[in-house]
């Protein structure tokens, strides 16, 4: 089983400034992960939690660390993946990236 894993940083523009907790965003920087296998594509994206110091870059780095294992067929049931992912947002991105029934 071979998977193609794509990890990209994107920035989505905001129509109006988004304000919360004394912060204002005019755009939404995010990490996007796509996993393709057997004609199916899963896509997950996440912005991170700013007050936990999560950034798209830190989440992309976590995903990059496990991309070889993902390409080889690892899924969320593997202890290796669980031990490598430190951000709940990154786990959510990965969960939504796994195509269809591949998410264990």
| Domain residue extents for the chain | 4-102
CB 30 within 8 A of CB 92: no
For residues 88 and 64, give the distance between their C-alpha atoms in angstroms, rounded to a whole number: 16
> What is the pLDDT of the chain when averaged over all its residues?
81
Helix (H) or strand (E) holding 13: strand 4-20
Structure tokens at 88: 């709940």
Grouping H, G, I as helix, E, B as strand and the rest as coil, residue 53 is: coil
Instruction: Give the predicted TM-score (pTM) of the model.
Output: 0.79
Closest CA to 9 of 26, 23, 27: 27
Average pLDDT over residues 28-37: 90
CB 48 within 8 A of CB 55: yes
CATH of the domain spanning 4-102:
3.30.390.10
pLDDT digits (tens, 9 = 90+) for 59-101: 899 889 888 888 887 776 666 666 666 666 666 767 666 666 4
User: Over the range 59-90, which residues count as b (16 or more CB within 10 Å of their CB) and which as e?
Assistant: bbebbeebbeebeeebeeeeeebeeebebebb
């Amino acid at each position: 089983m071979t998977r193609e894993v794509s990890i990209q940083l994107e920035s989505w523009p905001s129509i109006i400034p988004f304000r919360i907790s004394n912060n204002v965003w005019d755009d939404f920087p995010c990490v996007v992960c796509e996993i393709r296998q057997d004609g199916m594509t899963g896509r997950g994206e996440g912005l991170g939690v700013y007050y936990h110091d999560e950034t798209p870059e830190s989440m992309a780095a976590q995903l990059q660390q496990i991309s070889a294992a993902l390409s080889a067929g690892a899924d969320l049931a593997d202890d290796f993946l669980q031990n490598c992912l430190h951000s709940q947002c990154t786990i959510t991105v990965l969960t939504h990236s796994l195509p269809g029934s591949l998410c264990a």
